[in-house]
A = this chain, B = another copy of it.
Amino acid sequence: MTDKGLVKPVGELALNDVAAGTATQNQVLLGEDDGMPNFAMRRFVMGEGGGMPLHTNLVEHEQYVLSGRGRVRIGDETHEVKANDAVYIPAGVAHSYDVVEAPFAFLCVVPNAPDRIDLVEAD
């Protein structure tokens, strides 16, 4: 363990396209490469018309909306979320995102554990 802390201004970090999404980018703020022992903090940014189709992950998501508005389906329920909403998506539960007001940006914290995205047929 190091006793060094880290401060990372978001504007200095690269944004990467998310292949499974539309007009969706993300960046790792604090991750395993930084030596995070238990969980990783990422930031997602979705532009006009953007989103991600219904899918599952192996890990849960704890999220915090930073800007904009989006429609988030979690299981059978659809929520409209806005800046300063906290959102929980349990592991294995199908979820999707659709931008209502761009840029729709949120933090997404996940445990250090194997993950996989599986697309789910929308009903």
If A36-B88, A37-B91 touch, does A5 touch B75 (CB 8 Å cutoff)?
yes
If A107-B64, A109-B39 touch, does A86 touch B1 (CB 8 Å cutoff)?
no
Expressed in whole angstroms, the Cα–Cα distance for A111 and B82 within the complex equals 26
Of all chain B residues, which has the CB nearest A77? B5
Q: Interface residue count for A (Cβ, 8 Å)? A: 45
Residues in B whose Cβ lies below 8 Å from that of A85: 7-10
User: A2-17 CB contact bits vs B (8 Å, 1 = yes)?
Assistant: 1111111111000000
The residue that A41 contacts in the complex, of B8, B91, B109, with Cβ under 8 A, is B109
6 closest A-B pairs by beta carbon, nearest first, are A5-B74, A29-B86, A6-B88, A3-B75, A10-B84, A38-B111
